[in-house]
């Protein structure tokens, strides 16, 4: 019997497909799931991909994340592109998303870094920082959640704060980790410091600006222990790399605990290349710190302001530590999570104990053993985020060029 050309072509196509598909590929690799089209599920974490696949390496000019991976012979891969939520653990991921999850882009903003998100519950305002460029000072930002829809406007503390980077809420006040050093701003010299702002009066106060006479390097992010109320912060070198301070680093990159009652500062870790995000589990017994050493610059005097470069093989890892002795002893450092995109910048832990990190164009949601449950996908680099609202169920994301919000079933820890 003579085989038709069409049948022969189909036979050859099937044969070629079989040759490039390694045993173990789960089909479909990606599929729509959940209650709306904004959610997709990746089956078995795409543990086995069909050949040929390739993921381009991000750099300072282009960010290539998981959805940009080129995967031959996987037509469903294209579902990743437009999705707002990518679920890897279907059972838990869909539970945490709830029946009607939503992602909404709220405000386009400048390319200046927007971080230090602090929610003031009494005023129902969300404060967000901008990092000042070397030639001037940008106002900070505030989202008024009392308005419908919310509004975005400028605000300036009194005295103003130069280059606030990290932020949290403590004792009814905004607590900023100010990352820059400048000879004169608002009539005063400013150095890398911990600063508070009363959201009712806008008055700012310095809590800490030196370690036995040495300037701190950056004060990147800050968190408060849920029991002792001591302040923990990270101190990498990024301000010098990005010309936000006029002094070269005087201390090693490290993380610290600060007791405002006594003024004492305690070194808790100096093993990370560039400590960045920092967060506590709800019980205060686990501390998470991210190392973003994959983004690095030159420290040599005279080279400040040259910026940074990205090295995908350098540290971009979250580490976990045990916290004991009534919140005063930090030990047992262990690897927790390797960022699947860019570096793990902002870091928060939800009321449910989930670890969230801003990583490239999105936010990764990780359980307490380091398993990625899902990812929020954005079209801009997310540096940090904060929960708002009466039930702390709305998550606001911010970073270069964008501010957005997410509604789901994951809630924030109550900050007092």
Q: How far apart are CA 6 and CA 361, in angstroms?
A: 44
- What's the pLDDT at 37? 84
Q: What does the pLDDT read at residue 415?
A: 87
When pLDDT is cut at 50, 70 and 90, the band that residue 205 belongs to is very high
- CATH 2.120.10.30 occupies which residues in the chain? 90-407
**What tokens appear for 261 in the block?**
């009652």
> Using the 8-state DSSP alphabet, how is residue 380 labeled?
S
Other Cβ atoms within 10 Å of 20 Cβ, number: 12
The stretch 246-271 carries a mean pLDDT of 96
Which residues have a Cβ under 8 Å from the Cβ of 132 and sit 6 or more positions away? Answer: 112, 138, 162, 163, 180, 244
Q: What pLDDT is attached to residue 20?
A: 52
Q: What percent of the chain has pLDDT over 70?
A: 94
Cα 41 to Cα 33: distance, rounded to the nearest angstrom: 6
Mean of all residue pLDDT scores within the chain: 92
Higher pLDDT, 345 or 247: 345
- The pLDDT value given to residue 338: 98
Name the pairing type of β-strands 355-359 and 344-349.
Answer: antiparallel
Strands 275-280 and 125-130: unpaired
* Structural tokens at position 295: 């983004």
Q: In terms of Cα–Cα distance, which of 241, 243, 234 is closest to 267?
A: 234
Residues 6 or more apart whose Cβ sits within 8 Å of residue 400: 111, 112, 113, 114, 380, 381, 383
Q: Give the CA distances from residue 351 to residues 229, 293, 368, in Å, rounded to whole numbers and listed in that order.
A: 17, 28, 12
E-assigned strands of 11-64?
Answer: 30-32, 39-42, 53-54
User: Nearest-CA neighbor of 277 among 262, 292, 267?
Assistant: 292
Peptide bond into 267 cis (omega under 30): no
In tens, the pLDDT along 305-320 reads: 888 999 999 999 999 9
CA distances from 129 to 98, 339, 357, 392 (A): 31, 24, 18, 20
Which of residues 109 and 21 earns the better pLDDT score?
109
Lookup result for tokens 């201390």: 251
Q: Which long-range contacts (CB under 8 A, 24 or more apart) does 9-18 make?
A: 17/73
Q: Is the pTM of the predicted complex or chain greater than 0.85?
A: yes
- What tokens were used for 267? 């070194």
User: Which pLDDT score is estimated for 61?
Assistant: 84
For 100-106, what is the mean pLDDT? 97
* Distance (Å, whole) CA 66 – CA 39: 15
CA 14 remoteness from chain centre: 44
Output the pLDDT for position 10: 46
* Mean pLDDT confidence for 33-57: 92
Instruction: Kindly tell me if the per-residue pLDDT of 9 is higher than 80.
Output: no
Calculate the alpha carbon distances from 395 to 321, 371, 387 in Å: 26, 21, 4
Q: Which fold does the domain 90-407 belong to in CATH?
A: Neuraminidase (2.120.10)
Distance of alpha carbon 337 from alpha carbon 320, whole angstroms: 9
Q: Cβ distance 375 to 406 under 8 Å?
A: no
> CA-to-CA distance for 35 and 407, rounded, in angstroms?
14
More confident residue, 10 or 337: 337
CA distance 295 to 218: 15
**Dist CA 220 CA 202 (whole Å):** 22
What's the whole-number mean pLDDT along residues 270-277? Answer: 98
Q: What are the counts of helices (DSSP H) followed by strands (DSSP E) for the chain?
A: 3, 33
Q: Do 119 and 387 contact (CB within 8 A), yes or no? A: yes
Q: What is the mean pLDDT of residues 215-240?
A: 96
More confident residue, 377 or 61: 377
> Up-side HSE of residue 283: CA atoms within 13 Å toward CB?
7
Look at residue 227 in the predicted model and tell me its pLDDT.
Answer: 94
Which tokens belong to 120? 């003031």
Backbone φ, ψ for residue 199 (5° rounding): -65, -15
**How far, in Å, CA of 209 to CA of 203, rounded?**
17
Q: Which residues pair with 295 in a beta bridge?
A: 310
Whether 180 contacts 162, CB under 8 Å: yes
Confidence of residue 291 (pLDDT cuts 50, 70, 90): very high
Whether residue 40 is predicted with pLDDT greater than 70 in this model: the reply is: yes
What is the model's pLDDT at position 23?
A: 82
Under DSSP, is residue 7 helix (H, G, I), strand (E, B) or coil?
helix
For residue 187, the model assigns a pLDDT of: 83
**Token reading at 332:** 């047992």
Predicted pLDDT of residue 1: 43
Give the H/E segment covering residue 166.
strand 164-170
pLDDT average, residue stretch 389-413: 96
Spatial contact of 112 and 129, defined as CB atoms under 8 Å apart: no
- Spell out the residues 6+ positions from residue 390 whose beta carbon is closer than 8 angstroms to its own: none
Mean predicted confidence (pLDDT) in 194-207: 96
**Mean pLDDT across 400-407:** 96
Task: Return the pLDDT at 135.
Answer: 66
């Amino acid at each position: 019997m003579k085989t038709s050309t069409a049948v022969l072509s189909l036979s050859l196509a099937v044969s070629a497909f079989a040759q490039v598909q390694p045993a173990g590929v789960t089909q479909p690799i990606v599929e729509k799931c959940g209650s709306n089209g904004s959610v997709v599920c990746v089956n078995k974490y795409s543990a086995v991909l069909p050949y040929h696949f390739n993921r381009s390496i991000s750099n300072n000019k282009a960010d290539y994340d998981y959805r940009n991976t080129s995967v031959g012979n996987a037509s469903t891969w294209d579902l990743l592109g437009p999705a707002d939520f990518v679920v890897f653990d279907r059972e838990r991921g869909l539970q945490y998303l709830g029946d009607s999850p939503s992602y909404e882009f709220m405000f386009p903003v400048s390319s200046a870094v927007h971080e230090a998100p602090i929610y003031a519950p009494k005023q129902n305002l969300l404060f967000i920082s901008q990092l000042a460029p070397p030639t001037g000072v940008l106002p900070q930002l505030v989202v008024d959640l009392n308005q419908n829809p919310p509004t975005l406007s400028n605000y300036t503390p009194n005295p103003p704060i130069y280059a606030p980077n990290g932020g949290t809420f403590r004792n009814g006040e905004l607590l900023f980790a100010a990352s820059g050093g400048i000879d004169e701003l608002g009539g005063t010299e400013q150095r890398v410091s911990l600063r508070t702002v009363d959201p009712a009066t806008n008055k700012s106060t310095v809590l800490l600006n030196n370690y036995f006479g040495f300037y701190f390097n950056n004060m990147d992010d800050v968190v408060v222990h849920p029991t002792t109320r001591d302040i923990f912060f990270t101190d990498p070198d990024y301000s010098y790399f990005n010309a936000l301070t006029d002094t070269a680093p005087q201390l090693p990159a490290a993380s610290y605990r600060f007791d405002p009652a006594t003024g004492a500062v305690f070194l808790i870790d100096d093993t990370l290349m560039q400590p960045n995000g920092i967060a506590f589990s709800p019980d205060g017994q686990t501390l998470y710190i991210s190392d973003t050493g994959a983004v690095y610059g030159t420290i040599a005097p005279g080279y400040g302001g040259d910026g940074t470069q990205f090295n995908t093989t350098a540290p971009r890892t979250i580490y976990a530590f045990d916290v004991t002795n009534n919140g005063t002893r930090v030990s047992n450092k262990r690897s927790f999570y390797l960022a699947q995109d860019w570096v793990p910048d902002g870091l928060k832990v939800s009321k449910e104990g989930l670890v969230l990190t801003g990583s490239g164009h999105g936010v990764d949601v990780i359980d307490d053993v380091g398993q990625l449950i899902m990812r929020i996908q954005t079209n801009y680099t997310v540096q940090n985020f904060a929960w708002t609202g009466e039930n702390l169920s709305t998550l606001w994301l911010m970073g270069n060029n964008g501010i957005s919000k997410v509604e789901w079933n994951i809630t924030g820890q109550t900050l007092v």
